Amino acid sequence: MSGDTRTDGIELHFCRDCGISIPIPDIESGIANPALPGCAYGEKNCVNRSDAPAPAPAAPTRAGAPSAGPVAADSSARETGMRLVAAVALLYVVGVTTFILVRDVNRAPTEVVLPTDLAMVRDIRELERKVDAADQQAREALGQLKDNDSLQASTLTSLRERLKELSDSLQRESEAASQRDGELRQGLVALTEEALGLKKPMNAILEELKNGARPGPGSNGPSGKGADNPKKGDPEPKKPVAMADDPAARAKAAGFIKQLTDSSASDQTRYNAAVQLGDVNHPAAVAPLVAALQKDPYHLVRRAAAYSLGLLGKHSVTAIPVLIDGVAKQDEYVGYMCARALGEISKATLGRTQEFGYDPTMNKKQRREIQQKWNDWWQKNKGLIQPSSSR
C-alpha cells in the first residue's frame, strides 16, 4: 500500500502496514515516518501487530484507589487522537473528491482531436516553419539590396551620363549629315543642269554656289548668274534668234524632231535631240518637246525637253499648262526643270521672271502647293500672254 497520496495539491500519508492516516504533525515531529517499511510508527507502537499483547482490561478501581498507570492512559489517548485525525482526514478527502467531481461535471467537455486534425495541425506548423524560413531569406535578400543601393545609384548615374554623351554625339552627327545632304542635293541640281547643256565648268558652278548664286546652264541657258542676277554693266545674255523662215533652220529642227520622236532611237540620241531643239529655237519644236515631256520613258529626256521649252520662250506659251502639270506630277528634278521653264517663259512674255521657290528636295505636298501657285499665276496672267505667232 502506498504511503503517500496527492489530491489536488494536498498530501495525505498512510501507514503501509495498518493503513491508518498519519497526521502531518506526527511526521514533522518524527513520531511517524511513512517511508519506513512496515508500520510508520515502528513495530513497538503499531496497533495492528499480531504478536502485540492485548491491552489489559482496566481493573475496577475503588474510590480513592490509584489509577492503572500513566502508560495505559497515554496509549488510550493516543489511539483516540489517531482515530479522530483519521476521521477528519477521511472527511477532508471526501470533501476534496466531491469538489473535484463537481468541478469536472461543470467543466466544458474536452475537445476531441481526430488523427486527421492532428495531421492538419502538423502540416500547418510545417507550413509556418517554411513561411518563416522564406521570410528570413527575403529579409536577408532585402538587406543585400539595400547594401547595394549606393553601387546601383552610381551605375545608373554613369549610364545616364553615357546616354547623354551618346545623344549629343548623335545630334551632332545628324546635323553634320543634314548639312552634307544639302550640299549633295545642291551638287545634284548643278550636275543635272550641266547635263542639260551646261556650258560652264564644275569649278565655276561650285564658285557660284559658294557666293550664293543659283547655278544655271551658262551663257546660253535660261538662267544663271548672268541671267537671274545680272550685275550692272554686264552684257545681256545671248539667246538664239528665231529663224522660222530660214530653210537651214527648218531642216535642222526637222532632223532633231525626227530623232526625238523616233521610238527606236537610243536614250542618248533622244536626249541630245531635245537639248539641240532648244538651241535651234524653232517654233516647230514646241509640240514634239511637249510630247517628250509627257511621254518619254527616259527621265533625262523629259528634263531636257522641259529645259528646251524654257529656251524657246514666247514660242512655248502653249506649253505652260503642261509645264505647270509637270511641277508636281513629274519626278523631282523634271519638276524643277518645269518650274525653271515657266520662269523663263514669264520673263520672255511679261518682262519679269516669276518664281515660287521650287526646290527638288521638297516633299509631294510642298510641290503641290508650288503647282497651285503657278496655276493661280496662269489664271491671272494668261490673258496677257499670247503665243508669239499671234503677236
Closest of 41, 47, 11, 43 to residue 29, by C-alpha? 41
Q: What's the whole-model pTM score?
A: 0.41
Burial of 165 (0-12, 13-18, 19+ CB in 10 A): exposed
Grid coordinates representing 79 are 489511539
Is 239-390 in CATH node 1.25.10.10? yes
13 - beta bridge partners?
4, 22
8: left (phi over 0), alpha (psi -120 to 50) or beta: left
Per-residue pLDDT of the chain (391 residues; tens, 9 = 90+): 445 555 555 667 777 777 777 788 888 877 777 777 777 777 666 666 555 444 444 444 444 444 444 545 566 777 788 888 888 888 888 888 888 888 766 665 555 556 666 778 888 888 888 898 898 888 888 887 777 787 878 888 888 888 888 888 888 888 888 777 777 766 666 665 555 544 445 455 455 555 554 444 333 333 333 333 333 333 344 444 444 456 777 788 888 898 888 888 898 999 999 998 888 888 888 999 999 999 999 989 999 999 999 998 888 899 999 999 999 888 888 999 999 999 999 888 888 888 888 888 888 889 899 999 999 999 988 888 776 653 3
Any idea where the domains of the chain sit in the sequence?
1-45+77-102, 167-238, 239-390
